[in-house]
Amino acid sequence: MDLRWDLLRPVMCVPHLPTLGPLHPEAVSAALLAQVFAVAGTGEFLPHDKDRRWSNHKDEHVLVDAIVQDQARTLIPTITGRGVLSAHLYGAREHVREAEELAAKLTAEHDVSKTRVVWFQDAADPVAASTRVQLRTFDQEVPAVEGIEALSQQPEAIRTTFPEFAEKLASEGFVFLHSRIDSVGPVLVAVQDERVVGAIGPMETMADPVGKRRLLPQYFGVLPEYRGLGLGRLLWRSAMHWGKVNGAGYQLLQTAAGGASDRLCQSEGLADLGFVCTATV
């Protein structure tokens, strides 16, 4: 269908587009959504898609012919090559049931392994399975942090402890990061007792859809036995310093509402852009 931007924009309470994820508020536009639709099903990446650093094939695409829209809501379904189907709802939460029905209908028509509904809200109180989108700008100086350095700058005896660290935080994505460690930007680490106990990375920047340079998302974690010592905050501030020094204008972060990273970012004064909520159908 021909999606109408004048109907979608008023009900878009969080700057987030299907397949691209959260965006700087100034980057969201009808032209950008048209680009997303144009590459649907081709496997091609848009030049500003943050996921292209991990693959040469875009895994998720919009099911353009299945979009549903009126003045109250817009439903945009997507599917991945692994069979994850998502119905993105832009509009009031009262339309979640309709999004679930669309997702169920499409599940019957496609080879699907998982079906979910994604919706957005700007209310102060998060709901179950919600992720907060936050914006950190680098319009002021960001001080350097002592004691946090790139893994590559550590002595070999310290570097050899990173695989064990990654295994212990496999659920945080560090095993995957370790498998790509030689082909991505630096990983900043905290060292205690002669081993890596915390890390954030990879540190990389990319131009966004309107040409602003952004610091890309990182994997971020501290071993459980070393939490509560302030290492997470040191790592995060060191990453922000790296972003500033390397020309980034901002970073978007997604944090599990109420979690440790969420509380850290809230205490650091980031701008709250709203919640992304998910439910399995």
Q: 120 is written with which tokens?
A: 């957005």
Q: Does domain 140-248 have CATH number 3.40.630.30?
A: yes
pLDDT tens string for the chain (281 positions)? 689 999 999 999 999 999 999 999 999 999 999 999 999 999 999 999 999 999 999 999 999 999 999 999 999 999 999 999 999 999 999 999 999 999 999 999 999 999 999 999 987 776 766 999 999 999 989 999 999 999 999 999 999 999 999 999 999 999 999 999 999 999 999 999 999 999 999 999 999 999 999 999 999 999 999 999 999 999 999 999 999 999 999 999 999 988 888 888 889 989 999 999 999 99
Domain boundaries, the chain: 5-131, 140-248
Which residue, among 105, 171, 126, has the nearest Cα to 263 in the 3D structure?
126
How do strand 250-256 and strand 213-215 relate by DSSP bridges?
Answer: parallel
Distance CA 103, CA 76 (A): 10
Answer yes or no: pTM beyond 0.85: yes
* Token reading at 200: 């954030």
Residue 115 forms beta bridges with which residues? 85
CA distance 23 to 208: 8
- The DSSP bridge partners found for residue 199 are 189, 221
| Amino acid in the structure at residue 26 | E
